[in-house]
Structure 1
Amino acid sequence: MESERRTLAVRACVACRKQKRKCTREVPECSLCSKNGRPCEYAVGSRAAPYPEGRSRVAPRIQNPTVMPLQIVDSAAEAPSSNESTAPGLLPAENHFPALFFLDSSYFQQTKSQLQMPTVELPPEFDSIDAQSNMHDVDVYFNSIHTFLPIVSKLRLYRELSAPQSCRKPDTALLLITMQLHTRSLSSDPPSRELYGFAKACCSHVERSNILSVRLLQATLLITLYEIANAIYPAAYLSVGHCARLGHAIGIHDFKRAPQMLHTPTSATELEERHRVWWAVIVLDRYVNVGGKNRPFSCDDVRPDELLPADDKHWDQGELALIQPLAVSTSTTVKICPFGRTCQASHLLSRVLRHTSDRDSDIDFRCREALQLRRTVQALAATIANESEELLEHMNDATADLPLFTATALCHSALLHLYDTYCCTENTEANQMGCENLLEMQRLAISGLKEMPNTVFLFSKRLQAVTELGGMLRMSPLVCDCLYQAAATYLWYTLETGGQDYLPMANTIKDVLGILGTRWNSAREYIAILDGYDYSGNN
């Protein structure tokens, strides 16, 4: 009953704390202040929700903060102090995230505590885009980025956007802003740069408001993808690490073992969405680590029994289909959706990067692993190539294989990186020279470095054809690395041989990068690096 409830603050009042007196913590004033006739004031963030009079006074101190609304201080308490320099309108709403979730997650679960996301409103400058513009950007997004990185459920987002704009959650408004980043053409004009800064500022505001959600992680992933696509470093490298931390905090990296910050999914579509979001973290994290050697990943590899994404089309439509769940360890020849292929390719790229950074394992073991990785990546690349041909044969669309381009490019990047590691014999130590597996791997690496650039050259011609057929919006920026590696290998051969036979292929790949550079600045950066190569051998 209401008469049996009273409201207590989380901490003692200011007067009792100064005088080191035992405070009864009643709101609006404690017993001691009331008895002495002095003003009773509580620090910002000290008030708590009421609890029954008869309950233990120990348990609420731990349990109540985890279930209390995260927005309970009054407007006066929310005002920043005079020594705080926060821009007007950008101060995140004061709330009380339960530290228990991080300090002792086991006890948090034992007490069956629950987290409640704060109810806050974005400042007007972050939520001023009209609904019609929102829907247009969302439609463009789903017809472009979503085709190669499907991490946002169409059904769930469109359903959310059907509600009045006044009911829109801050993290959803943030997601819409980050979607806009990918629907604008690459430009050096101030509006493009301002939108990026605007998205970063809004993301920071939502995060400081303790709104930790799948929508926040999706938005952060889209910002990271934008930074990768436009070579905004070190921001891209740091952002993907932040994505991993957010995923770890939320718990979507391990639904069975990790503490879960979110409610239980209400549908298979929502569960699959969370699953795909974490896969996207892994894909982007591995991609940003291709060029930088010997850096640790932001997150672990998935376990062999971890499931790959379900069929893209069925998930988009929210249909329940009798589809066998496929684990990461599934054979590369089993039929899988395009995003599933991207995840498989990213997993193999991850294994290659870990392998090439390993200098502690036995040389014979490393070489046997390298030989196995080569066979596995080649098998996946061949399967993807066959699936691409089937799509083009059976669909009346000359760009039908576009969703498979990311997986193809990641396989090419993995093989080029593996071959580059083993092709140079001068790096081999004297006590390793007699290893038969090492000699075999070096032989395959040398021949592979001659074959792979030609494979990527043909791939670049396919990319060019697709862009000419109107597929630029659906093109993945993650294709750029393999193009760069192949062109750089051609130029290296030109330097080594002194001939000009490889220059035409290198220039063709650079031309394709130039086409991609009309959309992403990373392609332009790769061209600038290639233009800096000295073919004369003076370096």
Structure 2
Amino acid sequence: MALFPHDAGAGGGTAAANLTKANQACYSCRKQKRRCDKALPACSLCTRMARHCDYSEVQPAPTAEDFAVLQGKLAELESRLTYSGGSDVSSGHLSPPSRSASHSVATPQLLHQEPLWQGGRSNFPAAVFLDSRMFQWSGFQLPKPTMEVPPYVLQCIGNAEDLEQTLSDYFDDIHPWFPIVSRKRMAIGYQIWGETGGDIALLLLAMKLITSQPQRGFTASENYLYTAAKQFVAFLESVGTTSLAYLQGIVLIALYEYGQGVYPAAYMSVGQAVRYAEYLGLPSYKNSSAMLGHPMTWADAEERRRVWWAVYIMDKLVSIGAYRRPMCPEPSPDELLPTNDKAWDLGDSTSAYQRPVSSPFSDPQSTFGRLCQSALQAATALRHHTALERRKINGERYDFTEVAGMMENAHILCKALQSDFTTNPGAYFSLIAARCLNFTAVLKILAMYASGESLRGVGSEWNEEEMTLQLTAVDGTKKTAAFVRDFAADLFAFISLDEDVVKTPPMVLDTLYLASMVHHNAWKDTGDPIAESSLETTRKCLVRLSGRWRLGKELLDMMESHEAHYIVGSNFSSSRLSGIPLVVMNMS
């Protein structure tokens, strides 16, 4: 009888009901002090009121001991995030996930001690660019950025002894051929650079960078001074720095990039310098005074002029190799060239003489002024190349009169430089930069005419004048290569000591490379032993200088690549001279 259905239901009803009830009243009933039937999944009252029924146990209030334990855990977590003992923080490597972590949620974390970007607060008024006249008429002044020099910059600059060494190296090795920083001002200013601001700190860092030597196993872009300088430049820009020293720092960084073959960074840095010089109002005395204030002395005004010319020179150096369009505007004919270098160093305005851009190349000129004149020749070559390409597209003939005029000017400048070498042999390293840039500029012009395709328009026929010019250009290539070979032999004798290698400007490397290519082609075409010997002379000088300027190694690698193509049977006709800079035909 006990197995009847009604008996089973009656006997097990109480046990089943207990299994479907919670152990305690729900939270709402406890809070309202109502009777709870503890039904699952929700009590009858919560079901009737359509509210959430919560049977969870009530946690006791945290004690002071609980708070102390929590604070200890937070401190331990902060310590792990800060120091990260198991990961390479300084190099920014990814730390591996913990072994105890689930593979489905473990994500590598990029740990770094410093933020990826260091910015600063800028109070720079946008009206300077939006409406400069309104800004000037309103009488507003440019605010001085409030900032502290970052620790990594201080570490790179070093102590007082390091500063003395940096200034000594710079003014001994760089200043003679690129005098754009006032020696007298730095002799006073560097002692209080920590009070004057970040612009002077950047200039000191850039001076240390340009005098640094390449290190084996590291590229030039991996130089810690270089990475620090590039980061600091961006930081000073973000806070609205307006300073001549800031522009000087950018120029020296660009010079480092050019000399060490860091591209496209060199090209971009020069573009930044051009823009910043335009912003400062250089080379105009009136416009620059509005941004920088009136110069206190004649030497201050001269320094501004020299910095603008340095930007102009760098613009041509990074443009002429590939015939790229220069960014820096051309000076007016009455714009003044830099004055006597020694007079400027001494602050002696009575011994200074200045001549305009339009003055003849045969007139006496300072060593830096000669470099500026060579840069003007490079600008002429670039303009002529643009015009020639346009004529070729339109099927027009070239202008023989214009070519003859450029060759004549280059010849006059070359003779003036040779005269300067004779009268001032102590300025050897100061003058070779101008000499080589002049060679490169003129030979780039003649290279345009060494190829028949450059002489004729589309569908036009050869004439006697064009044939004569091409033969003259090819002959000029050979003569120029011989002059460069002699120059390389003299230079190699001068740089037998390492202390003299560091004084050599990087402008000579392009000329040595181009002459080497001419000698190489002549040797391979004719087997001429003189060409082979000449190639060895110029190449040996390149190898010697590549220890100071990595650009030399880049050019040597290009020569090896050219040799490899020659070996595999590339067809080099006489037209391969196209694109190789040539020098004037008569250098005597």
Following TM superposition, by how much is the alpha carbon of 1:114 offset from its aligned partner in structure 2, in angstroms? 2.3
Q: Once the two structures are superposed, what CA deviation does each residue of 1:143-163 show, in whole Å capped at 9, x if it has no partner?
A: 111111000001111111233
Aligned to 2:120: 93
Q: Secondary structure at the match of 2:424?
A: helix
Counterpart of 1:463 (choices 479, 491, 506) is 491
Following TM superposition, by how much is the alpha carbon of 1:367 offset from its aligned partner in structure 2, in angstroms? 2.6
Name the CA shift for 1:433/1:494 in 2 (closer, same or farther; >3 Å): farther
Aligned to 1:411: 438
1:288-307 alignment, distance < 5 Å? 288-293=318-323, 295-307=324-336
Following TM superposition, by how much is the alpha carbon of 1:101 offset from its aligned partner in structure 2, in angstroms? 0.6
One-letter identity of the residue aligned with 2:282: I
Normalising by structure 1, report the TM-score. Answer: 0.78
Name the CA shift for 1:160/1:323 in 2 (closer, same or farther; >3 Å): closer
Distance 1:417 1:94 in 2: 47
1:412-427 alignment, distance < 5 Å? 412-427=439-454
CA contact (8 A) 1:105 1:259 kept: no
Aligned to 2:209: 181
Aligned to 1:171: 199
One-letter identity of the residue aligned with 2:201: A
Distance 1:166 1:277 in 2: 23
Name the CA shift for 1:127/1:315 in 2 (closer, same or farther; >3 Å): same
One-letter identity of the residue aligned with 1:222: L
**Residue 198 in 1 paired to residue 231 in 2?**
no
1:49-198 alignment, distance < 5 Å? 87-88=114-115, 91-128=118-155, 129-163=158-192, 166-188=194-216, 193-198=223-228
Counterpart of 1:372 (choices 389, 394, 405) is 405
Name the CA shift for 1:436/1:274 in 2 (closer, same or farther; >3 Å): farther
One-letter identity of the residue aligned with 1:241: G
Q: Which has the higher helix share?
A: 2
Which region of structure 1 is more displaced relative to structure 2, 357-366 or 98-107?
357-366
One-letter identity of the residue aligned with 2:491: L
**Residue 219 in 1 paired to residue 242 in 2?**
no
CA contact (8 A) 1:412 1:456 kept: no
Q: Secondary structure at the match of 1:143?
A: helix
Following TM superposition, by how much is the alpha carbon of 1:243 offset from its aligned partner in structure 2, in angstroms? 0.8
Q: Secondary structure at the match of 1:162?
A: helix
Name the CA shift for 1:214/1:86 in 2 (closer, same or farther; >3 Å): farther
CA contact (8 A) 1:252 1:260 kept: no
Distance 1:86 1:252 in 2: 40
Following TM superposition, by how much is the alpha carbon of 1:119 offset from its aligned partner in structure 2, in angstroms? 2.7
Distance 1:321 1:440 in 2: 51
Following TM superposition, by how much is the alpha carbon of 1:440 offset from its aligned partner in structure 2, in angstroms? 4.6
Aligned to 2:354: 325
Distance 1:86 1:355 in 2: 53
**Residue 266 in 1 paired to residue 296 in 2?**
yes
CA contact (8 A) 2:340 2:354 kept: no
Name the CA shift for 1:155/1:102 in 2 (closer, same or farther; >3 Å): same
Normalising by structure 2, report the TM-score. Answer: 0.72
One-letter identity of the residue aligned with 1:96: N
CA contact (8 A) 1:371 1:441 kept: no
Distance 2:333 2:468 in 1: 28
Distance 1:257 1:367 in 2: 40
Aligned to 2:421: 388
Q: Secondary structure at the match of 2:399?
A: helix
What are structure 2's unaligned runs of at least 5 residues? 1-111, 571-588
Following TM superposition, by how much is the alpha carbon of 1:430 offset from its aligned partner in structure 2, in angstroms? 5.8
Q: Once the two structures are superposed, what CA deviation does each residue of 1:6-51 show, in whole Å capped at 9, x if it has no partner?
A: xxxxxxxxxxxxxxxxxxxxxxxxxxxxxxxxxxxxxxxxxxxxxx
Q: Once the two structures are superposed, what CA deviation does each residue of 1:496-519 show, in whole Å capped at 9, x if it has no partner?
A: 445554122112111100000110
CA contact (8 A) 2:210 2:253 kept: no
Identity of aligned residues (%): 30
Distance 2:244 2:194 in 1: 21
One-letter identity of the residue aligned with 1:167: E
One-letter identity of the residue aligned with 1:177: L
Aligned to 2:511: 482
Aligned to 1:446: 474
What RMSD in Å do the two structures reach over aligned CA positions? 2.4
Name the CA shift for 1:426/1:189 in 2 (closer, same or farther; >3 Å): closer
One-letter identity of the residue aligned with 1:273: E
Counterpart of 1:208 (choices 233, 238, 252) is 238
Aligned to 1:247: 277
Distance 1:315 1:366 in 2: 41
Q: Secondary structure at the match of 1:481?
A: helix
Q: Once the two structures are superposed, what CA deviation does each residue of 1:299-331 show, in whole Å capped at 9, x if it has no partner?
A: 122122111001000101111125442011111
Aligned to 2:569: 538
Q: Once the two structures are superposed, what CA deviation does each residue of 1:203-262 show, in whole Å capped at 9, x if it has no partner?
A: 211121211211111111111111111101111111111111111111114334679421
Q: Secondary structure at the match of 1:185?
A: coil
Name the CA shift for 1:115/1:503 in 2 (closer, same or farther; >3 Å): same
Q: Once the two structures are superposed, what CA deviation does each residue of 1:368-387 show, in whole Å capped at 9, x if it has no partner?
A: 21111111011101110111
Distance 1:205 1:448 in 2: 49
Q: Secondary structure at the match of 2:552?
A: helix
Aligned to 1:520: 549
CA contact (8 A) 1:91 1:205 kept: yes
One-letter identity of the residue aligned with 2:178: L
CA contact (8 A) 2:325 2:382 kept: no
Q: Once the two structures are superposed, what CA deviation does each residue of 1:355-401 show, in whole Å capped at 9, x if it has no partner?
A: 12222359556332111111101110111011101223xxxx5xx42
CA contact (8 A) 2:283 2:304 kept: no
Larger radius of gyration: 2
Count of residues in Structure 1 that have an aligned counterpart in Structure 2: 447
Counterpart of 1:429 (choices 457, 475, 484) is 457
CA contact (8 A) 1:416 1:485 kept: no
CA contact (8 A) 2:258 2:318 kept: yes
Distance 1:342 1:321 in 2: 23
Aligned to 2:429: 402
Distance 2:113 2:233 in 1: 16
Following TM superposition, by how much is the alpha carbon of 1:520 offset from its aligned partner in structure 2, in angstroms? 0.8
Name the CA shift for 1:501/1:305 in 2 (closer, same or farther; >3 Å): same
CA contact (8 A) 1:491 1:533 kept: no
Q: Once the two structures are superposed, what CA deviation does each residue of 1:70-116 show, in whole Å capped at 9, x if it has no partner?
A: xxxxxxxxxxxxxxx99449633312111101001122222233213
Name the CA shift for 1:526/1:274 in 2 (closer, same or farther; >3 Å): same
